[in-house]
């Protein structure tokens, strides 16, 4: 799974790796992979609990939403 932390919009979104948004994700200086930039970051995660750990560590207080394009039972049950 891939976690998109978007500090500019104040939300984070959980994606399946096969999601169109995840497969077209690219790192920028403002939104890098594996760390937080000015606009957020992309983080590989194992499940929803791991996503919450990343949010707590990198940007506490953000909401966690499921991507509407790739929402599956795996996402909601994690």
Over residues 16-51, the pLDDT tens digits come to 988 888 877 788 899 999 999 999 999 999 999 999
In-domain check, residue 71: no
Print the domain residue range for 25.
2-66
pLDDT for residue 75 = 44
In-domain check, residue 25: yes
pTM for this prediction: 0.83
Decide: 40 and 7 in contact? Cβ < 8 Å.
Answer: yes
Cβ contacts of 31 within 8 Å, gap of 6 or more? 6, 37, 38, 39, 40, 41, 42
In-domain check, residue 76: no
Alpha carbons 38 and 10: distance in angstroms, whole number: 12
pLDDT for residue 29 = 92
DSSP state at residue 15:
E
């Amino acid at each position: 799974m891939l976690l998109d932390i978007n500090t500019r919009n104040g939300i984070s979104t959980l994606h399946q790796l096969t999601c169109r948004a995840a497969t077209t994700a690219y790192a920028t200086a403002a939104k890098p992979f594996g760390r937080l930039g000015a606009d957020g970051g992309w983080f590989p995660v194992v499940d929803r609990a791991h996503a919450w750990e990343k949010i707590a560590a990198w940007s506490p207080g953000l909401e966690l939403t499921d991507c509407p394009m790739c929402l599956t039972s795996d996402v909601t049950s994690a």
